[in-house]
Structure 1
Amino acid sequence: MDSVLLDAPEGILARLGWDPRLDERARVVALARELVAAHENADATTVRVDGETPAQSGHHVQLEATVAGKPVPLTIKAVSFRTATVAAVADAAVPIGLDIRDLTPDEVTLREMRRHSHLIDGGSDHVLLNHWTRVQAVLAADGRGLRVHPEQVRLDAPLNKGWVSDRRVFYRLKDLSRDAWVITLAYGGFPGH
């Protein structure tokens, strides 16, 4: 699989990978293994990434890593779109969320974005797409899944910060876009900052 390191904030590692021959799970595990190995300065062959089955219905599988058989306390997140996957790792205390979209969304996707967006009509598809990836990244960082609607996400004007209207938690937003992919990382504060 081809992959590239993305320009993530300090303390977070992120990679974009693509390979039409691999299924999503294989791409997620391969990227997460690379990132955990880099984060822990370990040989990738000693890293194992597995999914913990969610305790409640409607929750996503949580990725967990071990290095040489010992658990590593990291947040590992990944998201895919078609044949591309982006993954990120950070300290376990740092909430992160990701979203990835194609630069040229189809009409059905654009309608869905417009229906749930707070943007005033008349914006370009590119503006809408950048807005939408940030909304989705905040939802992913929030972690409550379908219980929170996209309309509940608020973004500041420069699109550098986002939050869910019913919580007092703010996420910083980082554009990690690369080539034909619009990628957004939402992340909470690091302990002690």
Structure 2
Amino acid sequence: MGGDERRTRVKSVVLETPDGIDVRLGWDPSMSEHERKRALAKELVAAKLKLDPKDVRVEREAPAQFGFHTQLFASVEGTELSLQIRNASFRAATVVALTDRPYTIGLDIRDLHPDTATIHEMQRHSHLFDESNILNLIDHWTRVQAVREADGRGARVVPDVVKLDATRQRGWVPDRKAQYTILDLSRDGFVVTLAFADAEDARTPV
């Protein structure tokens, strides 16, 4: 695991979420992505356990391979906590989610101004009727990405296979039992999306 963060403060806000899941959005261009996400995780853990953030240690899982999406782990006085921490970043902004429930969680964050390459990627995979409606394309894409992150299999689940219902508040991957609840947590110009479902269902083939 990597070392603890050098800084512990980041400009941040708490986002409104369901019981059992805490999410904080932070931004600070003077901090690295790794510093931001560990600082936000410390704030979430400290608030949940009613501790001083200085008493919480957050470390990063060592990468298993190139491109491996590492997770964060929190500990207090050398004891690792049974908390699931997930994160996503876009430019100088980072969003972190925390839960002690038996959920699997996925996050996505971006702004409303995708570059040309991202637009082409969204159009290639989303298969929407009107691919020229960029706001609709972003709304669809961020929900698909949040479900993919929650699924946990990474690039093995291509965007094309993720299904959303007509409301886009439910999503699923056809070869797994999980039905994901999808929530829009957008704030301060950032499109923030949360997807969560029962962790055991996410591992169970249909």
TM-score range, shorter chain: over 0.9
The correspondence for 1:166, drawn from 156, 159, 175, is 175
Structure 1 unmatched ranges of 5 or more: none
The answer for the alignment partner of 1:111 in structure 2 is 120
Displaced runs of 4+ in structure 1, greater than 4 A?
54-58
TM-score (normalizing by structure 1): 0.93
- Asked whether 1:144 is paired with 2:168, we answer no
Alpha-carbon distance, 1:122 to partner: 4.7
The answer for the alignment partner of 2:109 in structure 1 is 100
The answer for the alignment partner of 2:187 in structure 1 is 178
The correspondence for 2:32, drawn from 23, 40, 50, is 23
Residue pair 1:6, 1:15 contacting (<8 A) in 2 also: yes
The answer for the alignment partner of 2:44 in structure 1 is 35
- Asked whether 1:49 is paired with 2:58, we answer yes
The answer for the alignment partner of 2:80 in structure 1 is 71
Residue pair 1:15, 1:88 contacting (<8 A) in 2 also: yes
AA of the residue aligned to 1:83: A
Which whole-Å CA distance do the structure 1 matches of 2:122 and 2:33 have between them?
23
Which whole-Å CA distance do the structure 1 matches of 2:117 and 2:150 have between them?
25
User: Residues 142 and 176 of structure 1: is their aligned pair in 2 closer, same or farther, counting only changes over 3 Å?
Assistant: same
Residue pair 2:26, 2:94 contacting (<8 A) in 1 also: yes
The correspondence for 1:14, drawn from 23, 26, 30, is 23
Structure 2 unmatched ranges of 5 or more: 1-9, 201-206
Q: CA RMSD in A?
A: 1.7
TM-score (normalizing by structure 2): 0.87
The answer for the alignment partner of 1:84 in structure 2 is 93
Alpha-carbon distance, 1:103 to partner: 1.4
The answer for the alignment partner of 2:70 in structure 1 is 61
Pick which of 65-74 and 80-89 moved more: 65-74
Query: Percent identity at matched positions?
Result: 53
